[in-house]
Structure 1
Amino acid sequence: MKILFVITGLGTGGAEMMLYKILSRINRDKFDPIVLSLMDRGTFGDRIEALNIPVYTLNIGRGQLPNPQIIWKLVKHIHQHQPDLIQGWMYHANLAAQAASFLSLKKTPVLWSIHHSIPDLKLEKPSLQAIIKLSALTSKFIKKAVFSSQTSQLQHQKLGYPPGKTYLIHDSFNTDLFQPSSEAKISVCQELNISTESLLIGLIARFHPMKDQDNFLQAASLITNNYPETHFILVGPEVTPENYFLSQKIKELNLGNCVHLLGERHDTPRLTAALDIATLCSAFGEAFPNVVGEAMCCEVPCVVTDVGDAGLIVGDVGKVIPPKNSEALAKAWQEMIELGNEGRNNLGRQARERIEQNFSLDSVNSAVHKYENLYLSILANKN
């Protein structure tokens, strides 16, 4: 079965990572995947090609909507590769895939994959609001819209997605790649030139209003006086000392000695395992945030805001707080700190067990197997 995966871009992100994980595990005796990025190769293009999967790009600019010329190029790829099924991945690519399939006259089944939650449509940029509304109108023509989050699935149904067209497949996590490591903390502390006795609280996220790094820093300022041994690690694209907003906020809050902006990194398993407490403080937009499950794989207890299915992931082995509330975030951190090393380690072990039991990439109920079964069922009923 030849599947054309059409994705908005291949940069750093949870949705992009999930596609890579599926492609790395998909049964190649049954499925022949091809990847087409509307943008460039990003950080995952080479990694996907290393799996012996061809990657094509259309090189549209960031923020640019798929125009007729781009759609026509996509149509030509459909004619060239003759896929049995087209899998869209994220909003822009979903719409582009559906439009190209329609114009190709091939009647190729189209699925969408959505990795975003919408507690309030007004929180999104006007251009994305328009894409989401248009998607709701055209969703009745696709085979299925796959959601990584139950919260997101219900929110999109309220926006007009036909319930019979929606399908839930939670993301899965690589418990082999993300593992606990005492050596990781030592090496990271040495890299940062801080004491190995320091307590590390981390946030791994690109710089974006939905990720709410401002909230993270505000909370950090509330606990540094009582816990001066605490250091805060922020990792992700544009999360660097050159970021004017972050550098000014750190200066304003007098956090220069304890906040470390590490930018985009390719050793996130090591950085994650080095943490004592992992944080997701997003204000909105999250569906099934991978960074939470990855931290739990590393036996790192998590404090998360109640966005998307973050609370579902941590269950009763982490703390769930309201978004945009730095006092609640600082209080949750304080409670984790007061548990001490033994208490946090016990919670971390329970966290990894929760992932292994419910969200492991190698389990029989993994996202990979669920996508494979969905593809087979759709083609078995193809008109």
Structure 2
Amino acid sequence: MPCVPPGIEVVDLKMRRGIPSPAAVVRLVRLMHRLRPVVIQTWLYHADFLGLLAARLAGRAPVVWTVRCSDMDLSRYGRLTRLVVRALARLSFLPDVVAVNAEAGRLWHERLGYRPRAWEYLPNGIDTGSFRPDDPARRAWRERLGLGRETVLVGMAARRDPMKDHAGFLDAAARLTGDVAFVLVGTGVDASDPELARLAGAVAKPVHLLGPCMDIPGFFAGLDVAVLVSFSEGFPNVVAEAMACGVPVVATDVGAVAEIIGDTGRIVPPGNPHALALVLTDVVAATPEERRRLGALARARILRHYALPTATERYHALWAQLAGQEERILEKDTPPLP
């Protein structure tokens, strides 16, 4: 795995997606016994449940749950996910900390019934060295898509998921006029999806459904406008990543989106393709200089508030605090030497 830094061990628990596995719990408990972690941090609902169970069986290292969404329509997800979320709300007093990356996420989980011992705000961090304005990448992407010099490229990076509202994006795209083209990337976002193919076919302007993308920094650098139309989000990295690439963003008012964008882009209500189309029409009609000005402001905002060092400092502080608690517990329970 080339994206994993040296010294970081990645262990496959051999779980199948959507299928509970007692054997995976046993593997995780054995792993915890071997590694003896001083802090255990879990990510997203199923991992929160599994990690808490394994941590209780393995010992008493402090546990941090990490929740990443807000205003999530659970009816769009499977029965197992709904059951897990309800169970976590009832068990939320057990982990030492529940971490959120947006205030909206905390409020939504409180409405679900979460009552943790402590909340912690851990904002996402953006690698502004990788995500940056990149003229060669911009030219390469435009050549790949066969775009003219004046064509405004509007794009979105999102996996195929009901929450991401690809249909709303394409509905808005069908309402736009002028020299504009659209590109979507993400797992499951390609012409083999009959609904996406039908919706894209109804758009008079070029629509490129490219599926998974291994060059997200280059993709964002190639855009003139980045879009997010989700019904629900916590802290969507794609918004901050596009901004770090110097691209103005039009996004729905969900989660921390408005907080991230500030006055460097435009906000629209979720589930409203008409409103999205009106705002996109304005941004597409703006001069290239105006879009570049907004993009420069967007990158400056990310550098100021969401650069990677800012986020890592908060993680380190939390881990140090919890590790210190664990050391005190161990010292208290360890009998003195004779």
What TM-score do you get using the length of structure 1 for normalisation? 0.82
Q: Does 1:318 align with 2:265?
A: yes
- Give, in angstroms, the shift of residue 121 of structure 1: 4.3
Distance 2:39 2:62 in 1: 5
Match 1:231 to one of 152, 156, 181: 181
Q: Does the Cα contact within 8 Å between 1:185 and 1:196 map onto a contact in 2?
A: no
Q: Does the Cα contact within 8 Å between 1:233 and 1:261 map onto a contact in 2?
A: yes
Match 2:283 to one of 315, 336, 356: 336
Q: Does the Cα contact within 8 Å between 1:305 and 1:321 map onto a contact in 2?
A: yes
Q: Does the Cα contact within 8 Å between 2:157 and 2:186 map onto a contact in 1?
A: yes
Q: Does the Cα contact within 8 Å between 1:186 and 1:196 map onto a contact in 2?
A: no
- Give, in angstroms, the shift of residue 338 of structure 1: 2.4
Distance 1:325 1:292 in 2: 19
The equivalent of 1:202 in structure 2 is 155
The equivalent of 1:375 in structure 2 is 319
Distance 1:254 1:332, change over 3 A: closer
Q: Does 1:151 align with 2:104?
A: yes
Distance 2:157 2:268 in 1: 18
Q: Name the aligned partner's letter for residue 64 of structure 1.
A: I
Q: Deviations over 1:209-234 (max 9, x none)?
A: 111110000000001xx31x200010
Secondary structure of the structure 1 residue equivalent to 2:55: helix
The equivalent of 1:27 in structure 2 is none
The alignment covers a number of residue pairs equal to 327
The equivalent of 2:27 in structure 1 is 73
- Give, in angstroms, the shift of residue 149 of structure 1: 1.4
Q: Does the Cα contact within 8 Å between 1:240 and 1:263 map onto a contact in 2?
A: yes
Greater length-normalized contact order (CA 8 Å, ≥ 6 residues apart): 2
What is the root-mean-square deviation of aligned Cα atoms in Å? 1.5
Worse overlay, 233-242 or 214-223? 233-242
- Give, in angstroms, the shift of residue 163 of structure 1: 5.3
- Give, in angstroms, the shift of residue 152 of structure 1: 0.5
The equivalent of 1:283 in structure 2 is 231
The equivalent of 1:264 in structure 2 is 212
Q: Does 1:139 align with 2:83?
A: no
Q: Deviations over 1:293-323 (max 9, x none)?
A: 0111111000000111111110111111111
Q: Deviations over 1:130-168 (max 9, x none)?
A: 111111111111110111111001111222222542211
Secondary structure of the structure 2 residue equivalent to 1:197: coil
Equivalence map 1:111-260=2 (5 Å)? 111-162=64-115, 164-223=117-176, 226-227=177-178, 229-251=179-201, 253-255=202-204, 258-260=206-208
Secondary structure of the structure 2 residue equivalent to 1:231: strand
The equivalent of 2:336 in structure 1 is none
What TM-score do you get using the length of structure 2 for normalisation? 0.93
Match 2:15 to one of 60, 81, 94: 60
Secondary structure of the structure 2 residue equivalent to 1:98: helix
Distance 2:225 2:166 in 1: 16
Q: Does the Cα contact within 8 Å between 2:96 and 2:117 map onto a contact in 1?
A: no
Distance 1:119 1:91, change over 3 A: closer
Distance 1:64 1:316 in 2: 44
Distance 1:82 1:352, change over 3 A: same
The equivalent of 1:41 in structure 2 is none
Distance 2:44 2:203 in 1: 39
- Give, in angstroms, the shift of residue 120 of structure 1: 4.8
Q: Does 1:84 align with 2:56?
A: no
Q: Name the aligned partner's letter for residue 86 of structure 1.
A: I
Unaligned runs of 5+ in 2: 330-338
The equivalent of 1:356 in structure 2 is 303
Distance 1:95 1:119 in 2: 18
- Give, in angstroms, the shift of residue 117 of structure 1: 1.5
Secondary structure of the structure 1 residue equivalent to 2:174: helix
Distance 2:278 2:212 in 1: 28
Secondary structure of the structure 2 residue equivalent to 1:351: helix
Unaligned runs of 5+ in 1: 1-44
Structure ID, larger Rg = 2
Secondary structure of the structure 1 residue equivalent to 2:11: strand
- Give, in angstroms, the shift of residue 341 of structure 1: 0.6
Distance 1:374 1:275 in 2: 37
- Give, in angstroms, the shift of residue 103 of structure 1: 1.6
Q: Does the Cα contact within 8 Å between 1:179 and 1:299 map onto a contact in 2?
A: yes
Distance 1:120 1:291 in 2: 20
Distance 1:194 1:280 in 2: 22
Q: Does the Cα contact within 8 Å between 1:149 and 1:288 map onto a contact in 2?
A: yes
Q: Does the Cα contact within 8 Å between 2:173 and 2:203 map onto a contact in 1?
A: no
Secondary structure of the structure 2 residue equivalent to 1:54: coil
Secondary structure of the structure 1 residue equivalent to 2:308: coil
